[in-house]
Structure 1
Amino acid sequence: MRRLLLLFFALFAIICAASCRKSDNATLSKPSPDSLKKPVVITRPPVTLVGRWDVSAEKFVKYRDGAEISNTTSAAAPYNLAYVIFNNDSTYTCLAMDWYPALSTYGVVKDEVAGTYRLADSSLSVSSYLAGLNTIYYGGPPNSPPTLTPVSDKMVLRQFTDSTLTVHHEYVFNATDPSAGPVGNYKYIWDLYYRKHGY
């Protein structure tokens, strides 16, 4: 019986020694408190201009020789829509159309534009223009088309997030009637408010 008891204690001592070694190894594999203090940095993907942006509203103000001559605000509706698609290869396309429910599946394209774009910081430059809800026209005297001489053309992003985009466009030009001479200095300010398609 003594031998059995001695064998039992020896076996118990071996099991205890083995479990102590496992415990020591487990302690060594735990991260140090200093490594737990370091913050985990999650990098958010950059906001991208690429994709389809639907015009939700626009504001268009015209000035002639410093005086406001018109101020129009429009909101998109099921029958009046416009959008721009910016592609990865720095090209874009715009479409503006009126939709007539009485005609069922038919709409009338008011404006269709394609070109290239460049985004640098908050400045957006396009090779043509961005189509909006309303067709932009000269709208000043005389009845015959005048000669338009550009003075400045600036386009900046006022707001740019995953789901919203606001483009502010200022275009200044001088108009001259071929038969009567100078007509005036014009400034067009156009704000386009977009929502990312699907948001």
Structure 2
Amino acid sequence: MAEEKDPPAAKRSGTRESILFLLGGVAVAVLVHVFALQSFYIPSESMENTLLINDRVLVNKLAYRFGDVDRGDIVVFKGWTGEDTIKRVIAKGGDTVRCCDARNRITVNGTPLDEQGGYVYPGASPSDGRFDVRVPAGRLWLMGDHRDDSQDSRSFVDDGHEGTISEDDVIGRAFVRYWPLSRGSFLSPPATFSAIH
């Protein structure tokens, strides 16, 4: 009976290195997912046409660790019902957000937002209801881009927080739409928000 030979040391070492490399890659991917980036899919029409049903976005979970949430950002957050929700930040703590001025525009701190022909769904009005809210410190007023089909801050104005959500409930900023590939693009705040003081 032939004596079995041990595999060469180089082969054993190569296998061990491959396994360690694979485990290291998995560990890095898990750490990135937990602490830095996360993929989200769009479940509803509320952000059309910016985001369509089944679009996929990447969310930067570190975006606000060292800076403030910006008006115009698209954020994922723990919503009013406790579910992960995606909307656009319209106003933040200290802002006064109103609907609507004489030309039917939403205003933030008296500055009208130029939303038509931009990110708001074509043909949708800025809001089907009136509101006048001073956003509390540390909180955000959020709205979907498809205003006629979005359950957002306007729907919860009687919740004791005037429809706002806490900045602590923000998971991160959606910064790129990566799927489908044909619609891939970066998600930047619209220029109209830069005029707000």
Q: Same fold (TM over 0.5)?
A: no
TM range (shorter): under 0.3
Structure with max Cα Rg: 1
Provide the TM-score with structure 2 as the length reference: 0.22
Instruction: Specify which structure has the higher proportion of helix.
Output: 2
Instruction: Specify which structure has the higher proportion of strand.
Output: 1
Provide the TM-score with structure 1 as the length reference: 0.21
Q: Which has the higher contact order (CA 8 A, sep 6+)?
A: 2
